[in-house]
């Protein structure tokens, strides 16, 4: 299922917010909790999942819902139907989040690539700690132009863009260029 703007609340993940999310990660979180509780054959995953999605689409009174509150509701739902071991094994999982590389470049300051990488790494570690498994970085070109302090794309910009991708690889995020975005997995992120 895909979140259509206006139907589901904006999810708050730490200081970040996400909209237009699909909901597969909710089902994944329930499946993983069932597995951790040694109940791999939990028969009501679809019903619990559908109930949570129905709540988000139709019953949630909030426009901004902290991810922790959503998982408290999922845990409560599981306990109400007698699945306390699964509820107790539930861990927060977040939908993929999109972050702007341009925003990080602006915060770092023009020409301060080291600060740029430090900001990105800090954000990735924080989001992983909050349950994020996947991040998309947007505005790649804009961030490179800002860091290079230029308005024209040139060979130096091309090199910096490749350096950014190489840096993501070194962090263990398995970056994939997808059009104007970079997809990174946070599962195996490591310090440099």
Give the alpha-carbon dihedral of 171, 176, 179, 183, to 10 degrees: -60
pLDDT number for residue 26: 95
Question: Which tens digit of pLDDT belongs to each residue from 130-168?
Answer: 999 999 999 999 999 999 989 999 999 999 999 999 999
- What is the average pLDDT across 18-27? 91
pLDDT number for residue 109: 78
Bridge partners, residue 137, by sequence: 99, 182
Going by C-alpha positions, the residue among 48, 93, 31 that lies closest to residue 68 is 93
- Helix orientation angle between 45-54 and 67-80, rounded to the nearest 10 degrees: 130
pLDDT number for residue 192: 65
Tell me the three state secondary structure of residue 97.
strand
| pTM for the whole structure | 0.83
Question: Which tens digit of pLDDT belongs to each residue from 70-96?
Answer: 999 999 999 999 999 999 999 999 999
pLDDT number for residue 108: 86
Q: Is 20 left (phi over 0), alpha (psi -120 to 50) or beta?
A: left
Percentage of the chain exceeding pLDDT 70? 95
Cβ neighbors of 173 (< 8 A, separation 6 or more) are 124, 135, 184, 185, 186, 188, 189
How do the domains of the chain map onto residue ranges? 10-89, 97-185
pLDDT number for residue 7: 80
Percentage of the chain exceeding pLDDT 90? 79
């Amino acid at each position: 299922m895909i979140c259509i703007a206006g139907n589901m609340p904006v999810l708050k993940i730490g200081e970040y917010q996400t909209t237009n999310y699909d909901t597969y990660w909710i089902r994944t979180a329930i499946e993983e909790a069932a597995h951790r509780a040694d109940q791999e054959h939990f028969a009501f995953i679809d019903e619990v999942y559908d109930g949570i999605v129905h709540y988000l689409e139709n019953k949630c009174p909030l426009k901004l819902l902290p991810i922790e509150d959503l998982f408290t509701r999922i845990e409560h739902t599981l306990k109400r139907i007698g699945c306390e071991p699964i509820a107790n094994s539930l861990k927060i999982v977040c939908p993929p989040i999109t972050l702007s590389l341009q925003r990080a470049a602006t915060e770092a300051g023009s020409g301060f690539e080291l600060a740029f990488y430090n900001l990105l790494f800090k954000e990735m570690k924080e989001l992983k700690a909050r349950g994020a498994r996947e991040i998309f970085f947007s505005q790649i070109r804009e961030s490179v132009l800002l860091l290079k302090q230029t308005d024209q794309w040139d060979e130096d910009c091309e090199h910096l863009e490749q350096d950014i991708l190489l840096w993501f690889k070194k962090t263990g995020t398995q970056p994939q260029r997808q059009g104007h975005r970079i997809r990174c997995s946070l599962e195996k992120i490591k310090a440099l």
